[in-house]
């Protein structure tokens, strides 16, 4: 059985790492699966270096389509053209497996379906209700065309059922990102900022910002940073920052004080920082999952989330643009008065094994 494994961004590699591991484990007893790891090149990320692949114990991509950056339309078209050319030049796999909701996910799904190749979508059924997000459109299109649907929670499965997907095509498997984190948790290590800023366990905040609504407007970015700085009450705020955002901050008339911008961290370093923090402030969906696993209080600076389980039973609080809430939530976190939480069902490190077993049961003659 030939599988094309599609990745386009760094989070895709994190989610795919455990699937690669599960395939290799399955093949130890019976050589059933062969695969190509295909990187579309949607994001050129300096962090995707040899050390990144070594940390996650995954091979370098078999194919890099090298599409690069561009507008949504340019990237979608470029990925579709490059992936179709690869398929026509080489061979058609039994199945095309896509993860998440990035442009590569949708574009490769379109190409595969038009060439009559089955598509399996990992993290299917996730919904934010916000059509202004490109990721929302990518999810909807991918779920409309996929043949098999692997979900993180029952809520995601229910979303698919409501949209008309037949139940036998849906499998609640759990979270592959959590799989990868659990598998490498004992290998997390301190970043250099730990000693540089004399950090202590549960005595600092981790801040990440990348959504255009939060960082593209200098006024909005300054407002967020000023509120966090004014309410940090001397607690260090470690801010792994994208170079583009870093340049924007330089133009602001703002003394950062407790906010400590640092360069982006490796996967193992960043998750060490999250695990040992007292609070996370973010606009990233993936980080809310990691914070929930580690039972770390988390504030999300968005009005919607495609991961409601992190709010309903996890550690996450969604505050949208009500930035005045930051002060009270910082107080709750550092006075150990945060809401009680639990870890969602099936977030047990076995999601990838369930995916591979499902594909074997459905597709092996």
Residue 179 lies in a domain: no
pTM beyond 0.85: yes
Q: Same domain for 85 and 156?
A: yes
Q: Same domain for 291 and 223?
A: yes
Which CATH number characterizes residue 279's domain? 3.40.50.2000
Give the range of the structural domain holding residue 279, as residue numbers without chain letter: 188-334
Residues in the chain: 365
Active-site residue (options: 46, 121, 210, 331): 210
Q: Same domain for 285 and 356?
A: no
Q: Same domain for 131 and 194?
A: no
Residue 116 lies in a domain: yes
Of 211, 194, 326, the C-alpha closest to 268 is 194
What pLDDT, on the 0 to 100 scale, is given for residue 74? 94
Residue 181 lies in a domain: no
Q: Same domain for 278 and 243?
A: yes
What pLDDT, on the 0 to 100 scale, is given for residue 276? 98
Residue 162 lies in a domain: yes
Q: Same domain for 356 and 256?
A: no
Query: How many domains does the chain fold into?
Result: 2
Residue 73 lies in a domain: yes
Q: Same domain for 126 and 235?
A: no
- Active-site residue, 210 included: yes
What pLDDT, on the 0 to 100 scale, is given for residue 30? 83
Q: Same domain for 167 and 193?
A: no
Residue 339 lies in a domain: no
* pLDDT tens series, the chain, 365 aa: 999 999 998 889 999 999 999 999 999 988 899 999 999 998 766 655 567 788 898 898 999 999 988 888 999 999 999 999 999 999 999 999 999 999 999 999 999 999 999 999 999 999 877 777 788 899 999 999 999 999 999 999 999 999 999 999 999 999 999 999 999 999 999 999 999 999 999 999 999 998 888 888 889 999 999 999 999 988 999 999 977 788 888 888 788 889 999 998 999 999 999 999 999 999 998 999 999 999 999 999 998 898 999 999 999 999 988 999 999 999 999 999 999 999 999 999 999 999 999 999 988 66
User: What letter does residue 344 receive in the DSSP assignment?
Assistant: P
**CA dihedral angle for residue 261, residue 266, residue 269, residue 274, rounded to 10 degrees:** 70
Residue 206 lies in a domain: yes
Angstrom distance (rounded) from CA 146 to CA 133 = 21
Q: Same domain for 169 and 211?
A: no
Angstrom distance (rounded) from CA 318 to CA 300 = 5
Q: Same domain for 258 and 151?
A: no
What pLDDT, on the 0 to 100 scale, is given for residue 44? 65
Phi and psi dihedrals of 118, rounded to 5? -65, 150
Residue 197 lies in a domain: yes
Angstrom distance (rounded) from CA 349 to CA 268 = 17
């Amino acid at each position: 059985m030939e599988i094309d494994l599609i990745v386009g961004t760094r989070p895709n590699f994190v989610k795919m790492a455990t699937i690669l591991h599960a395939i290799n484990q399955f093949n130890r007893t019976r050589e059933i699966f062969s695969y190509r790891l295909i990187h579309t090149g949607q994001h050129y990320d300096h962090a995707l270096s040899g050390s990144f692949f070594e940390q996650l114990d995954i091979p370098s991509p078999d194919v890099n389509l090298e599409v690069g950056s561009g507008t949504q339309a340019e990237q979608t078209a470029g990925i579709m053209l490059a992936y179709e050319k690869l398929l026509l030049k080489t061979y058609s796999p039994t199945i095309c497996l896509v993860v998440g909701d990035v442009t590569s996910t949708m574009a490769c799904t379109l190409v595969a379906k038009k060439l009559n190749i089955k598509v399996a979508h990992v993290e299917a059924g996730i919904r934010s209700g916000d059509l202004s997000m490109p990721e929302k459109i990518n999810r909807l299109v991918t779920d409309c065309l996929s043949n098999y649907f692997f979900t993180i929670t029952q809520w995601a499965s229910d979303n698919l059922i409501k949209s008309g997907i037949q139940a036998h095509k849906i499998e609640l498997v759990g979270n592959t990102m959590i799989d990868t984190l659990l598998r490498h948790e004992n290998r997390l290590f301190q970043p250099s900022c730990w000693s540089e800023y004399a950090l202590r366990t549960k005595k600092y905040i981790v801040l990440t910002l990348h959504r255009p609504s939060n960082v593209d407007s200098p006024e909005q970015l300054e407002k967020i940073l000023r509120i966090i700085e004014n309410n940090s009450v001397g607690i260090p705020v470690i801010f792994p920052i994208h170079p583009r955002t870093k340049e924007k901050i330089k133009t602001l008339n703002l003394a950062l004080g407790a906010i400590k911008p640092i360069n982006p961290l490796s996967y193992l370093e960043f998750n060490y920082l999250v695990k040992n923090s007292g609070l996370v402030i973010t606009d990233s969906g993936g980080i809310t999952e990691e914070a929930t696993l580690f039972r770390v209080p988390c504030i999300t600076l968005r009005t919607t989330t495609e991961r409601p389980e992190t709010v309903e039973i996890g550690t996450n609080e969604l505050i949208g643009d009500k930035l005045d809430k930051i002060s009270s939530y910082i107080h709750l976190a550092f006075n150990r008065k945060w809401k009680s939480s639990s870890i969602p069902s099936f977030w047990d490190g076995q999601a990838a094994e369930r995916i591979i077993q499902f594909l074997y049961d459905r597709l092996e003659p």
